[in-house]
Amino acid sequence: MPRKALLIAALLLAAPLLQGCAAAVGAGAAVGADAIAEDQGGNLF
């Protein structure tokens, strides 16, 4: 296969995996921010 076709195929296969990871990263960031806010005496949520 030409290099460009392999790149397109790789991007099409990776898209669903990356979308699933984005939600997990966002949730982790929210939990981390809440923990930091509680440590500093505030409450984020």
Summarised one tens digit per residue, pLDDT across range 3-16 is 888 888 888 888 88
- Region at 17 (left for phi over 0; alpha for psi -120 to 50; beta for the rest): alpha
Q: What average pLDDT does the chain have?
A: 83
Under 8 Å between Cβ of 34 and 44? yes
Mean pLDDT, rounded, for 23-28: 86
